[in-house]
Amino acid sequence: MHIRKRSLRFSCIFLALITFLLYFTFRLLMIQFFRSSHLAALAAKQQSHYIKLEPVRGTIFDRKLRPLAVNVTVYSLFANPRIMTPENIQRALDELPGIVNISKDSLSEQLGKDKYFVWLARKLPKDQMEKIRELKIRGLDFKKESKRYYPNGHLAAQILGFAGMDNKGLEGLELVHDKMLRGEPGWSHILRDARQRDLLIEKSFVPPKDGFSLVLTIDETIQYIVETALDKAFKAQNAKSATVVVMDPQTGEVLAMANRPTYDLGHASDSRPEDRINRAVALVYEPGSVFKIVVASAALEEEAFRETDKIFCENGTYKVGNRILHDHHPHGNLSFTEVIEQSSNIGVTKIAQKLTGPVFYKYAKRFRFGMNTGIDLLGEVNGVLKPTSQWSKTTISAMPMGHEVSVTPLQLACAISTIANGGIYMKPFVVKYIKDDKDVLIKSFEPQVVDRVLSDDTARRVKAILAGAVAEGTGQKAKIEGVAVAGKTGTAQKIVNGEYSHSKFYASFIGFAPVENPRIAVAVMFDEPHPYHYGGTVAAPVFKEIVENALKYLGSEAHRNP
């Protein structure tokens, strides 16, 4: 009996051992053939990891290679919660909120994740990084990154735009040329020890490809001159908004473009959407009397008038359809030249009536009103230029004086540049060329002729008339001592609730200098200035300050660089 009991016990133990052996053999086979890849990948993840190597975003330079947007080195804080003890986590919760801008609740949520890697704070300055390192909290470490930095704050803000936390362009040229600026990331495969510490042994390495740099047509000094003058006048005139565009009329290069209100590129997240709008290309206005340059150009080109022809201006009152036109000052007989110099609404209407609507419309289209200029900036709008089929009985009097038409400040700058350039319309552009970090040219953008709008002789004659408008007419506050200046003032009533307002206006001035050999052309636009609202009073002095200082600068540059 005793032997039988022992035999039964032995059999049971043997059977159990065999069962366990078969179970573990089965498990090993399952692991080997069905889960081996998963477990191998898990082991590889624990023993090594990939580090994304950020490329250096390309610099944005002005035309003289002065940096407008650069990268600076910063440090991003991350954690490995899986190797942090409760004591480590508590120390981090107690210490980090006093150093970096992160709440205790958010930090607790991140450190509570069952992950090898979580971001805690991105792109910290060096002093904050050093304070955190001094804490020596296990599981916390830093990754060196770069952050976009704009050394001039708000200078050319709406042109440049800005890049976000991940160095991706979000607005302006940063967005337009993001692919070229951003470059391509690289990778480094780093081995770890059993405690998840990097061994600084690279298993494989793919270097990043740094982004290309942009060189703009913008001149930092002229941009500064423009923004200084504009900022001062914007505040003094209590305007709702204001815009200035400065161009080289012979090439189409935009030398400066500024808007108010504006924002600081270094704190873009704190700005309002309306502060970031590039009003020079994205918003339209009724231009007022600056549009009379189209009438003057068309009349001379079509040989419908000569400069000395007399036009009776009805002593200040003239009826067209059911509308009564008035001049700011009543005039009797004025020569063609004087009509433009004195900005007579009645005189210009009579010129347009003789030209006829279709001819006037043809020249407005030649100056490319109602269509975009093709500039290499985002958000450009066409404006509105109604075809003659949509004209009312009074459009022939409204449109020549800058009503029933809407334009952008850039379109006005291009139009006056065309007259300055002998009747040739140049395509405006802001990127001169693209290069790599070794100064190898990647792509260049050359001046491009769009069309001949006027003959050289007509352009010369319109120049002389616009020079008279500054010397003797409504633009006298744009005079510069020792420099011949040509230009045209504009004052337009705003449409409010479908009707023309008698208290809200646009004030503008467009012009160029010197008359015989124009170096720069400028368009100035103010929205709702007060208490003064005339273009000759509000916008012309801004033009004068900009052109006077810019020509001095350009003259000194030419002297240094013959």
Catalytic residues: 289
365 C-beta neighbours (distance < 10 Å), count: 15
**Residue 373: what are its φ and ψ, rounded to 5°?**
-85, -15
Q: What CA–CA distance (Å, rounded) separates 394 from 320?
A: 6
What is the per-residue burial (b if ≥16 Cβ within 10 Å, else e) of 402-430? Answer: bbbbbbbbbbbbbbbbbbbbbbbbbbbbb
Q: What CA–CA distance (Å, rounded) separates 309 from 158?
A: 45
Tokens of 547: 């052109």
Q: What CA–CA distance (Å, rounded) separates 451 from 417?
A: 13
Cis before 400? omega within 30: no
Nearest residue to 383 (alpha-carbon basis) of 372, 391, 396: 372
Q: Following CA atoms 246, 252, 254, 255 in sequence, which dihedral angle do they give, to the nearest 10 degrees?
A: -70
Beta bridge partners of 119: 78
Q: What CA–CA distance (Å, rounded) separates 481 from 503?
A: 34
Element (H, E) at 39: helix 36-47
The answer to whether the beta carbons of residues 213 and 146 sit under 8 Å apart is no
For residue 556, the Cα-to-chain-centroid distance in whole angstroms is 29
Distances (CA, A) of 28 to 24, 32, 36, 37, 345: 6, 6, 10, 14, 97
Angle at alpha carbon of residue 65, lines to 185 and 375, rounded to 5°: 80
519 C-beta neighbours (distance < 10 Å), count: 19
Amino acid at 283: L
Q: What CA–CA distance (Å, rounded) separates 163 from 303?
A: 53
Residues in the chain: 562
First to last CA, the chain: 123
3-class DSSP state for residue 182? Answer: helix
Nearest residue to 409 (alpha-carbon basis) of 286, 289, 518, 496: 286
What is the per-residue burial (b if ≥16 Cβ within 10 Å, else e) of 280-294? Answer: bbbbbbbbbbbbbbb
